[in-house]
A = this chain, B = another copy of it.
Amino acid sequence: MDREVTLADVARLAGVSPATASRALGGHPHVAAGTRERVRRIADELSYVVSPDASRLAGGRTGRVAVVVPHLSRWYFGALLEGLEEVLREAGLDVLLYRVGDAADRQHFFRRLPARRKVDAVVALAFPVDEAERARLEEMGVEIVAAGGQVASHPYVSIDDVAAGRQAVDHLVHLGHRRIGMIEAVDPEQRAHQPEGRSRAYRLALADAGIPVEPELVATVEWGADEGAEGMARLLGLREPPTAVYAHSDEVALGAVRTLRRAGLRVPGDVSVIGIDDHPLAALTDLSTVRQPVREQGARAGRMVAATLSGGEAGEGVLLPTQLVIRGSTGPPGDAR
């Protein structure tokens, strides 16, 4: 075609009404997948360009979503992003990526973004947004959804950190351990927003089992395998080291296992170790863990964003279930054998 391709051309060739064609191209949820696919294919073939000013249902939409993430090279954040990106792409929304590593980045992001009005929504991936920041976004008409962080006053998708931690610690208790250590991970850039559910779980599980909590059995480190290795070394330095260790993540747990192996100790013969995540390397290294659906948390957040930008509701916060995965790194205490 020599003249400009119009929405009517796309609709006619796809055998649908212009309204349906518009909804299909706009990622509206109430269009059958087959129809959406057909309309998009035809739009592609005709190189039909959605008019930037007319394309969005609500006024002044940009069709872009900012995704804010503190890390990119760690599996957990990548998996969240992968689930989110897929859903947003299918909804016809573009992803603007912002890594916000430290407090200065964070401040920069929230100062600049609303002023530029470049996006319709912000998705915070395992990144806590405080009330002032949230209010600022709201003022600008920018929606906010959180995934993989903790419970928030804005729409979120997460796991129940207390429940996940209890699955891990209860497993160690059921195996007969009484001297259970915890390698607790924190993010120094987000001190004010620590997800402390995983630590609370440890105290609750021990209390329920009638085991006194001994502060010396808790090693606090930053997230990461090297840090987990260091935390384990601290616990091994105790006069009476633990017979089992609960780590806040699989990476932290894998670091702990390295320290134990280097110290000539058997896992789980001498010390049991369990993490949280079900990182791909947990299966590879036979690590017991609590599985969380990471990709799915990103995808659910993406569906919330698509719904709210189509004029619907993002919906309430959602907590996805976790699951104990028993592998070879946990067993009964050595002296019980």
Interface on A for B, CB 8 Å cutoff? 40, 44, 47-50, 64, 67, 71-75, 77-79, 81-82, 85-86, 89, 94-99, 107-108, 111-112, 115-116, 118, 225-226, 229, 254-255, 258, 280-281, 284-285, 295
Contacts of A48 in B (CB 8 A): 115
Contacts of A64 in B (CB 8 A): 96
Closest to A79 in B: B73
- Contact between A225 and B67, CB atoms less than 8 A apart: no
Known: A72-B85, A85-B97. A281 touches B295 (CB 8 A): no
Q: This chain: how many copies in the complex?
A: 2
Closest to A72 in B: B82
CA distance A7 to B48 in the complex (A): 38
Closest to A44 in B: B111
CA distance A225 to B96 in the complex (A): 31
Contacts of A71 in B (CB 8 A): 82
Q: How far is the CB of A106 from chain B (nearest CB, A)?
A: 12
Contacts of A89 in B (CB 8 A): 98-99
Closest to A78 in B: B73
Q: How far is the CB of A254 from chain B (nearest CB, A)?
A: 6
What are 7 A-B pairs at a CB distance below 8 A? A44-B108, A49-B115, A72-B78, A81-B97, A86-B99, A255-B284, A285-B285
Contacts of A115 in B (CB 8 A): 47-49
Lowest 9 A-B CB distances belong to which pairs? A73-B78, A72-B82, A73-B79, A95-B97, A78-B78, A97-B97, A44-B111, A47-B115, A72-B78
Q: CB within 8 A of A75: which of B73, B86, B94, B112?
A: B73
Contacts of A285 in B (CB 8 A): 258, 285
Q: How far is the CB of A330 from chain B (nearest CB, A)?
A: 18
For A48, A99, A284, the residue with the greatest tally of chain B CB atoms inside 10 Å of its CB is A284
Q: CB within 8 A of A82: which of B44, B95, B99, B112?
A: B99
